[in-house]
A and B are shown apart, each in its own frame.
Chain A
């Protein structure tokens, strides 16, 4: 069965951003340029945090607007990027109303969560989980 990254309970999130660093570390380097998840405060740390990450749409608006067919719909929802087709036009970024299409400035291409679950192993507070979904 395919799976998707799910946000179990963002109220438990402490804003440590370990998930963001983990996502970028998939490629073996440090920093956050290639991270596909963002943790930010809800109007200041005093109000808690929100987790911004692809929610695996079944009929993804980001893919629908891609003029190059560079975003393929993934089994289980969400999309997979074909970097060779992508021209960096940025339409997908505008189409995702939750802001889950991040931008790799250096490559000039979108960063979108592929629902691999790597970050889940580094969330110390049980905010994130990989859940099985129907194909």
Chain B
């Protein structure tokens, strides 16, 4: 890649307020970019056994060769040690983050150390500025933080503003980093890592030219990918109703976790489905930079002020499938206004919607069963009572008592302290995503390298297999399929393309897209690359204490039937045993 700046890595030391750039062509040649390179950079920089909330933790943001060059190559990969799971944390977000980093002439940004006072860091024009952020610390709403930085910094339209809310400042272990208001490095607590470093925000601005080796071929391949993204049906589902299109079919299937997964169908699902949301509230669609799909659905929520007639506030709240699940069905909330209000406060606080919803669902059931009382919860939590949940979210952020201090560390900690592990929906320390589709989903949460439903898409395998044969594959076969999917996703997240575009970026398209950039990789090499990155991730996880034999599914998943009926513990056990053997082999392979 002649003159492509991708291999430039920016290192930022918050302790000494220093920065420098190194050329890491060695890593980019071997691991392409994105997650592949990010994991190697993390492995180099992170001391073994580092405290996730201590100064030794390291944050790496990385983009890849396709970033800012092709449609849907819109994501940035973040890796760090997760304060929620105590192991490898990885999270992806779009907005304008990926284009901005790439066009600032960088392939990755490594952030180390801890600032002694609140700072935000701004990168533009080849320089890094450490700005005092004392004024921003403690601001109530993350929306306001965005607004202030927008006005203080240059580069409107060409920059990303990644910021944390109060949840991150207060080290809630499932705090997010928000970018461009509606996108998140959502899972596994990157926001708390920012908070522990007193890093309020990271601004990156860039617009530089990325030279392409074969210009006319580049334009031709671009056109093909653009046509596939806009004319075919491959992206339709995300385009029209957005991800909440899944609410109704998952409910019909009996796979929609409801009231802490005491049910898998929600009787009010049709009131908060994607279709209902669109009909009542959809106000605007927005997109990440370089994405024609525009899956971000924004609702308008109009609320009257109680103390003054004819006085209203209108908020713009983005909704997706996952917040509807976690803050809607899991909490038994069946009215769109209440749900949107709750999503809005979670956003303003800078919390991960999924973990927050699962934490509140656990707390509600624990209160119902008398394991804890209102002495602990302060608020009377009741299924469907969105106002009570709004209050409880504020308490997770401000942590007024011991109970909320523990709940802010995640459901696993809370259940270890107060009991109720049988119904604590946690997988390897991370709260459950919204799919009770069958065994593959749950196995997938347990064995995914970053514990995300998007690691290996078990929910999708479940639904496919259900349609074709109505009963699960053999457990070993399920694991093999999940691992193969995850290996391929390592390639996608090293390029880096949005996983929603996986139907477009098939191996032959990836090969084609790389060619004009001067990178020749065939099917076979891509597949090997995927497995190599997969292996490197697991090596790092094992180094940090991951124990595949110690994986435990939450008992609740066996009680509530899936579309396949009740799951069998024996099935899951066999699958996990197989996985443990496979990982041991893989980690020791060359």
Q: Do A and B come from one complex?
A: yes
Q: Which A residues lie at the B interface, using CB under 8 A? A: 14-18, 20-21, 24-25, 27-35, 38-41, 43-49, 52, 106, 122, 124-125
> Is the pair B298, A16 in contact by a Cβ cutoff of 8 Å?
no
Closest to B69 in A: A30
Q: How far is the CB of A130 from chain B (nearest CB, A)?
A: 18
Q: Once the chains are docked, how many angstroms separate the CA of A48 from the CA of B284?
A: 8
**One of B21-29, B210-218, B555-563 contacting the partner:** B210-218
- Name the residue among A24, A34, A43, A46 with the largest chain B CB count within 10 angstroms: A46
> Is the pair A44, B286 in contact by a Cβ cutoff of 8 Å?
no
> Is the pair A33, B219 in contact by a Cβ cutoff of 8 Å?
no
A-B pairs, 9 with minimum CB distance = A28-B215, A40-B157, A30-B210, A16-B287, A14-B294, A31-B209, A32-B207, A124-B292, A30-B69
Q: Does B290 contact A (CB under 8 A)?
A: yes
| Residues of A with C-beta under 8 A to B210 | 29-31
Q: Which B residues lie at the A interface, using CB under 8 A? A: 68-69, 71, 95-96, 99, 103, 143, 146-147, 150, 156-158, 180-182, 207-212, 215-216, 218-219, 222, 226, 230, 284-292, 294, 296, 298, 316
Q: Once the chains are docked, how many angstroms separate the CA of A43 from the CA of B316?
A: 13
Our pick among B143, B230, B287, B294 for the contact of A46 (Cβ within 8 Å) is B143
The 26 listed contacts between A and B (C-beta, < 8 Å) are: A14-B285, A14-B294, A15-B286, A16-B290, A16-B294, A17-B99, A18-B226, A18-B290, A28-B216, A29-B211, A29-B212, A29-B215, A30-B68, A30-B209, A31-B103, A31-B208, A33-B209, A35-B207, A40-B157, A44-B146, A44-B147, A44-B150, A45-B95, A46-B298, A46-B316, A122-B226
Say whether, besides A14-B294, A46-B181, A33 and B286 are in contact (CB < 8 Å). Answer: no
Q: Once the chains are docked, how many angstroms separate the CA of A46 from the CA of B178?
A: 13
> Is the pair B103, A32 in contact by a Cβ cutoff of 8 Å?
yes
Q: Once the chains are docked, how many angstroms separate the CA of A27 from the CA of B218?
A: 11
| Residues of B with C-beta under 8 A to A49 | 286
Q: Once the chains are docked, how many angstroms separate the CA of A17 from the CA of B180?
A: 14
Q: With A14-B285, A29-B209 given, name 6 new contacts (CB 8 A).
A: A18-B292, A27-B215, A29-B215, A31-B103, A32-B158, A33-B207
Q: Once the chains are docked, how many angstroms separate the CA of A25 from the CA of B103?
A: 14
> Is the pair B157, A14 in contact by a Cβ cutoff of 8 Å?
no
Q: How far is the CB of B123 from chain A (nearest CB, A)?
A: 16
> Is the pair B289, A45 in contact by a Cβ cutoff of 8 Å?
no
Closest to A47 in B: B316
| Residues of A with C-beta under 8 A to B207 | 31-33, 35
| Residues of B with C-beta under 8 A to A35 | 207
Closest to A11 in B: B284
- Name the residue among B96, B182, B207, B210 with the largest chain A CB count within 10 angstroms: B207
| Residues of B with C-beta under 8 A to A52 | 157
Q: Once the chains are docked, how many angstroms separate the CA of A49 from the CA of B147?
A: 15
Our pick among A21, A34, A40 for the contact of B290 (Cβ within 8 Å) is A21
| Residues of B with C-beta under 8 A to A45 | 95, 180-182, 286
Say whether, besides A31-B207, A44-B150, A17 and B181 are in contact (CB < 8 Å). Answer: no
> Is the pair A28, B218 in contact by a Cβ cutoff of 8 Å?
yes
Closest to A102 in B: B207
> Is the pair A25, B290 in contact by a Cβ cutoff of 8 Å?
no
Q: Once the chains are docked, how many angstroms separate the CA of A31 from the CA of B206?
A: 9
Closest to A125 in B: B294
> Is the pair A30, B212 in contact by a Cβ cutoff of 8 Å?
yes
> Is the pair A31, B216 in contact by a Cβ cutoff of 8 Å?
no
| Residues of A with C-beta under 8 A to B212 | 28-30
Q: Once the chains are docked, how many angstroms separate the CA of A40 from the CA of B205?
A: 13
Q: Once the chains are docked, how many angstroms separate the CA of A25 from the CA of B217?
A: 12
Q: Once the chains are docked, how many angstroms separate the CA of A38 from the CA of B212?
A: 22
- Name the residue among A34, A39, A45, A49 with the largest chain B CB count within 10 angstroms: A45
Q: Once the chains are docked, how many angstroms separate the CA of A27 from the CA of B216?
A: 10
| Residues of B with C-beta under 8 A to A34 | 209
| Residues of B with C-beta under 8 A to A33 | 207-209
Q: Once the chains are docked, how many angstroms separate the CA of A24 from the CA of B99?
A: 14
> Is the pair A44, B143 in contact by a Cβ cutoff of 8 Å?
yes
| Residues of A with C-beta under 8 A to B158 | 32, 38
Q: Once the chains are docked, how many angstroms separate the CA of A124 from the CA of B209?
A: 23
Q: Once the chains are docked, how many angstroms separate the CA of A31 from the CA of B158?
A: 11
> Is the pair B181, A44 in contact by a Cβ cutoff of 8 Å?
yes
Q: How far is the CB of A124 from chain B (nearest CB, A)?
A: 4
| Residues of A with C-beta under 8 A to B209 | 24, 29-34, 106
> Is the pair B294, A25 in contact by a Cβ cutoff of 8 Å?
no
Closest to B216 in A: A28
> Is the pair A25, B208 in contact by a Cβ cutoff of 8 Å?
no
Q: Once the chains are docked, how many angstroms separate the CA of A14 from the CA of B95?
A: 12
> Is the pair B290, A17 in contact by a Cβ cutoff of 8 Å?
yes
| Residues of A with C-beta under 8 A to B69 | 30
Q: How far is the CB of B556 from chain A (nearest CB, A)?
A: 37
> Is the pair B68, A124 in contact by a Cβ cutoff of 8 Å?
no
> Is the pair A124, B230 in contact by a Cβ cutoff of 8 Å?
yes
Q: How far is the CB of B452 from chain A (nearest CB, A)?
A: 24
> Is the pair A14, B290 in contact by a Cβ cutoff of 8 Å?
no
Our pick among A30, A32, A40 for the contact of B156 (Cβ within 8 Å) is A40
Closest to B222 in A: A25
| Residues of A with C-beta under 8 A to B298 | 46
| Residues of B with C-beta under 8 A to A106 | 208-209
Q: Once the chains are docked, how many angstroms separate the CA of A41 from the CA of B180?
A: 10
| Residues of A with C-beta under 8 A to B95 | 45
| Residues of B with C-beta under 8 A to A27 | 215
Our pick among B216, B218, B289 for the contact of A17 (Cβ within 8 Å) is B289
Q: How far is the CB of A99 from chain B (nearest CB, A)?
A: 10
Q: Once the chains are docked, how many angstroms separate the CA of A14 from the CA of B181?
A: 14
| Residues of B with C-beta under 8 A to A17 | 96, 99, 157, 289-290
Q: Once the chains are docked, how many angstroms separate the CA of A20 from the CA of B286?
A: 16
| Residues of A with C-beta under 8 A to B285 | 14
- Name the residue among A25, A47, A124, A125 with the largest chain B CB count within 10 angstroms: A124
